[in-house]
Structures are given as structure tokens and as C-alpha cells.
């Protein structure tokens, strides 16, 4: 009988505490955040090529660049017809001698001419062969991998659902800590603020001038090895929850 009485007393105490908590937290407004993320194998490659020539004659250097760029574009189009090509960053820079203790006047010794070419492709499996074929004419400057817009769009639902589920799990913990039931809550404001890994390349400036050199016969290039990796898409949900 004593045990039963003690149990009843404890139960009554817990009920009283819950009632007090319910009264104290009535009409309370809490802000709960949830995060979600999904991972996917990269299916987009962005490659930057460069052609640069040096010569004492500016016209000669420019002609070499123009010829190599034309050949490089034709090679890339043949290797990957579906790739998107974009030329940019054509530059011409004078080369001078260094100033020394005995020679304080800089003298013009030649010219550096260059141009960049960007390639975007979803044909990542063939990328090593495509790059190797172009490297006989063009210089590989940079390469990045990411996700196609269509892939990111297909992953949106999973990303947002994961964020909302995480918010609900946090809300259950908060409600329990406050001695309330999640059924006593209502969502007043729900905001989804999502973002994904950016795929923009950093701005490329003209590299330092190498020594003047003559053109060499292009040699076959061994195919490079690439690991495309994966990208993570993240989403954040912010909810204002009212405890009724």
C-alpha cells in the first residue's frame, strides 16, 4: 500500500509539474532551424585551356596564338561535339629587360600574347581523352567538377525534405524539454533558405611571362587521370513555432 501511495504521489507531482510548464510556456514563440543535405556524383566538368606565345615580333606571337587556338577549338569540337566552348581573356603584354645597377633603363625585348578557352561538358567519362587530344596544342590551366542544373533540380525535393525532417526532430526535443506535446504547436512562419556548392571558376589573370622560345613540334600527350568526386547540396529551414 505504501508503494502504491508513493507511486500515486509521484504521478500526481509529475502531472502538476507538466501543468505548471504548460501554463508557463503557453503562447510561447520559439525559432527552430533544420538543415539537410544530399550528395551526388559530379556529372559536369569545366576545363580552362590557355594558349600563350612569346616572340620579339608582336604580330608573329599573335599569329601563333590565333593559329593554335583555332586548331585547339577544332580538336575539342571533334573530340566532344556536345561540349560548350567559350573564349575569353585575350591579352598582349610587352616584355622588358630588368632594371639593374648598371642598366637603369628598361628595354623592350619582345611580346607575350595569350588567350583562354573554357570547355563545359557532361561527357566526363571521355574527358581524359578529350583533354589529352587538346594538350597537343593547348595548355591545361584549370579543371573543376560539379553538377548539371538538371541534376540539382532532381535533388531539390530530397534536400528540402531532409531539412524539414531535421527541424521536426529538433522540435520534438524542444517540446519534451518544455514539458509540452508537439501536437500543442502550430507553425506561424516557415522559411526555406537553400544553397549549393558554387561551380563558378575564379577569375584568371595573365600568368608570368616565360622566356622567349621557338615553336616546337607537338607531341602526343598521355591521357591524364581525373576523379570527378561528388558535390553536396544543402538546405536550411527556419520555422517560428507557437506553443498554444
For 189, the 3-state DSSP assignment is: strand
| Confidence band of 17 (pLDDT split at 50, 70, 90) | very low
* pLDDT score at 115: 97
Domain 44-97+106-146 has CATH 3.30.70.2970: yes
Sheet holding 84-96, edge to edge: 84-96, 108-121, 44-55, 139-146
* Residue 197 pLDDT level (bands cut at 50, 70, 90): very low
Q: Distance between CA 168 and CA 187 in Å, rounded? A: 11
Residues 143/228, Cβ–Cβ less than 8 Å: no
Reading phi first (left if > 0) and then psi (alpha if -120 to 50, else beta), residue 71 is in: alpha
pLDDT at residue 205 tops 50: no
Calpha distance 226→241 (Å, rounded):
47
How far is it, in rounded angstroms, from Cα 40 to Cα 231? 6
Going by pLDDT thresholds of 50, 70 and 90, the confidence category of residue 15 is very low
Residues of the chain with CATH 3.30.110.70: 26-42+148-202+230-244
Q: Yes or no: say if 235 and 36 are a contact pair by the CB < 8 Å rule.
A: yes
Q: Is the Cβ–Cβ distance between 25 and 223 less than 8 Å? A: no
Q: Rounded to an integer, what distance in angstroms lies between the CA atom of residue 138 and that of residue 155?
A: 36
For residue 85, report the phi and psi dihedrals to the nearest 5 degrees: -110, 140
Q: What is the pTM of this model?
A: 0.68
Interval 207-224 mean pLDDT = 51
Rounded distance between C-alpha atoms, residue 43 and residue 51, angstroms: 27
Average the pLDDT over 216-243 and give the result: 79
Q: Crossing angle of helices 58-79/127-134, nearest 10°?
A: 150
pLDDT bin (cut points 50, 70, 90) of residue 130 is very high
Quick one: how many helices (H) and strands (E) in the chain? 4, 7
What does each C-alpha distance from 140 to 117, 143, 146, 158 come to in angstroms?
10, 8, 18, 36
**Residues facing 34 on adjacent strands:** 237
Predicted confidence band at 75 (pLDDT cuts at 50, 70, 90)?
A: very high
Residues of CATH 3.30.70.2970 domain(s) within the chain?
Answer: 44-97+106-146
CATH 3.30.110.70, applies to 26-42+148-202+230-244:
yes
Strand partners of residue 39: 232
More confident site: 85 or 209: 85
Amino acid at each position: 500500500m505504501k508503494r502504491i501511495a508513493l507511486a500515486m504521489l509521484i504521478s500526481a507531482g509529475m502531472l502538476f509539474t507538466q501543468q505548471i510548464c504548460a501554463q508557463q510556456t503557453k503562447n510561447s514563440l520559439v525559432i527552430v532551424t533544420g538543415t539537410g543535405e544530399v550528395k551526388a556524383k559530379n556529372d559536369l566538368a569545366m576545363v580552362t585551356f590557355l594558349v600563350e606565345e612569346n616572340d620579339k615580333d608582336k604580330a608573329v606571337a599573335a599569329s601563333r596564338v590565333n593559329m593554335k587556338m583555332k586548331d585547339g577549338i577544332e580538336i575539342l569540337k571533334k573530340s566532344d561535339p556536345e561540349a560548350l566552348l567559350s573564349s575569353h581573356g585575350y591579352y598582349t603584354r610587352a616584355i622588358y629587360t630588368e632594371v639593374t645597377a648598371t642598366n637603369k633603363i628598361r628595354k623592350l625585348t619582345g611580346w607575350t600574347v595569350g588567350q583562354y578557352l573554357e570547355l563545359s561538358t557532361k561527357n566526363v567519362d571521355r574527358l581524359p581523352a578529350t583533354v589529352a587530344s587538346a594538350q597537343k596544342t593547348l595548355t591545361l590551366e584549370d579543371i573543376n567538377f560539379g553538377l548539371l542544373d538538371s541534376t540539382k533540380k532532381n535533388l531539390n525535393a530530397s534536400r528540402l525534405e531532409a531539412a524539414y525532417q531535421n527541424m521536426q526532430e529538433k522540435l520534438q526535443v524542444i517540446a519534451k524539454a518544455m514539458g509540452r506535446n508537439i501536437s500543442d504547436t502550430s507553425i506561424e512562419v516557415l522559411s526555406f533558405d537553400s544553397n549549393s556548392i558554387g561551380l563558378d571558376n575564379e577569375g584568371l589573370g595573365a600568368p608570368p611571362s616565360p622566356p622567349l622560345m621557338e615553336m616546337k613540334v607537338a607531341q602526343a600527350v598521355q591521357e591524364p587521370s581525373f576523379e570527378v568526386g561528388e558535390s553536396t547540396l544543402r538546405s536550411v529551414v527556419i520555422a517560428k513555432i507557437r506553443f498554444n
